Amino acid sequence: ATHNLLLLPGDGIGPEVMAEVKRLIEFFNKKGPNRFVYEEGLVGGASYDADKTSISDVTMEKAKAADAIIFGSVGGPKWADVPYEARPEAGLLRLRKDLDLYANLRPAVTYPALADASSLKRELVEGLDIMILRELTGGVYFGEPKTITDLGNGQKRAVDTQVYDTYEIERISRVAFELARKRNNKVTSMEKHNVMKSGVLWKEVVQQTHDREFKDVKLEHQLADSGGMQLVKNPKQFDVIVCDNLFGDMLSDIAAMLTGSLGMLASASLGEVDPKTKRRKAMYEPVHGSAPDIAGKGLANPIAMIASFGMALRYSFDMGAEADLIDKAIAATLDKGIRTADIATAGEKTVSTTEMGSAILAE
């Protein structure tokens, strides 16, 4: 099959790490049978410099038409004073919003060679491979009313509102169960039904979706606070964790710290199934930003970007074997002691972005 990608390298180290993904695309195109055709577009500061907007309508149309978007990173001091609506981050937010990317996937994977670099005990994190799935477009970050009111007696009142409708919980649950089927077939749903009505509905809808459509997947429910404790105490018990926007924000950052450097963390955001292609709208991106402090120096770690591309293969294109190949190549490269500066320990020899890319490609 032929797959259409839109590459949006963005700013700072974005283009540097995206260059390593292009080499992987060439590799897989030679290997076959799947072929990738890609176009490149401008986003963030790079787009502002060219078109005075953080993403043009033309690029948005391409994003909507693509089978998947591979995104680098945006932002930097150069654009600190551009008008608010044209700031680099606005391009990323528009992509998420216009494509309705409501499911945020944040894997936490520990590579054996880096297990000691984690702040936690080796036996706890060695071989860790879990996925935090965070609802991204609803919940308390967006619910109305959202106000601060002056009560007039020297007191103010702040109100945020957690709102979830059945359909929002249903669609994120479906993504969770679909992911689990491509992984280790287990979903843990986390909420606080003991104190929150949204938690009651969350638990109920996840269970119903399971019983109706995904009986083959193992489902567990945990309260989000003790679930967070379990995540740090015994993370390997989990496969896919699904939760709302707020709990997901916290739990995914906690899980990230089980594994180490920002330069290693991949992510994906998924939306609805496109009726024509039968594929979910999807954007894959590293968790890190544009790293202005190291941009242009060839120092960036391309692993987060490469692993994000690996997620595209697994979750958009059913190329699980090829995605495994990428993961194994990363692990083998790290096993050989090859390190970019961000993951090296003091005194260790380090390699450049391109050298890391070459080493992974060779594996």
Binding positions for Mg(2+) are 225, 249, 253
How far is the C-alpha of 125 from the C-alpha of 115, rounded, in Å?
A: 6
The one-letter amino acid code at 226 reads S
Residues that bind Mg ion (CB under 5 A): 249, 253
How far is the C-alpha of 358 from the C-alpha of 128, rounded, in Å?
A: 26
248 three-class SS: helix
Helix (H) or strand (E) holding 339: none
Q: Are 41 and 6 in contact (CB under 8 A)?
A: yes
Where is the binding site for NAD(+), in residues? 76-89, 289-301
Q: Does 87 bind ligand NAI (CB under 6 A)?
A: no
- Placement of tokens 């964790």 in the chain: 241
The CB-of-223 to ligand NAI minimum distance in angstroms stands at: 30
Which of Mg ion, ligand NAI, none is residue 330 near (CB under 5 to 8 Å by kind)? none
The CB-of-249 to Mg ion minimum distance in angstroms stands at: 4
- Residue among 255 and 300 whose Cβ is closer to ligand NAI: 300
- Placement of tokens 């979910």 in the chain: 280
Number of residues that bind ligand NAI (CB under 6 A): 20
Record the tokens describing residue 57, joined without a space: 């309508």
One of 15, 41, 76, 260 touching ligand NAI (CB under 6 A): 76
182 an active-site residue?
A: no
Per-residue x/- track, 327-356, ligand NAI (CB under 6 A): ---------------x--------------
The CB-of-345 to ligand NAI minimum distance in angstroms stands at: 15
Which of Mg ion, ligand NAI, none is residue 249 near (CB under 5 to 8 Å by kind)? Mg ion
253 an active-site residue?
A: yes
The CB-of-156 to Mg ion minimum distance in angstroms stands at: 26
Q: Say how many C-beta atoms besides its own lie within 10 A of residue 255's C-beta.
A: 24
The CB-of-120 to ligand NAI minimum distance in angstroms stands at: 20
Where is the binding site, in residues? 76-89, 96, 106, 134, 225, 249, 253, 289-301
**What pairs with residue 280 in β-bridges?**
273
Q: Say how many C-beta atoms besides its own lie within 10 A of residue 242's C-beta.
A: 28
One of 304, 311, 334, 351 touching ligand NAI (CB under 6 A): 304
How far is the C-alpha of 202 from the C-alpha of 300, rounded, in Å?
A: 40
215 an active-site residue?
A: no
Name every residue whose Cβ is closer than 8 Å to that of residue 103 and which is 6 or more positions away in sequence.
133, 134, 135, 136, 171, 172, 175, 269, 270, 271
Residue 5 exposure: Cα atoms within 13 Å on the Cβ side: 25
Annotated active-site residue in 141, 160, 186, 236: 141
Q: Does 228 bind ligand NAI (CB under 6 A)?
A: no
Q: Using alpha carbons only, what angle is made at residue 183 by residues 164 and 175, rounded to the nearest 5 degrees?
A: 20
How large is the angle between the packed helices 14-31 and 353-362, nearest 10 degrees? 20
For the segment 2-61, give every residue that binds ligand NAI (CB under 6 A): 13
One of 66, 300, 307, 311 touching ligand NAI (CB under 6 A): 300
- Residue among 86 and 246 whose Cβ is closer to Mg ion: 246
Annotated active-site residue in 225, 233, 328, 335: 225
Query: Which residues are designated catalytic?
Result: 141, 192, 225, 249, 253
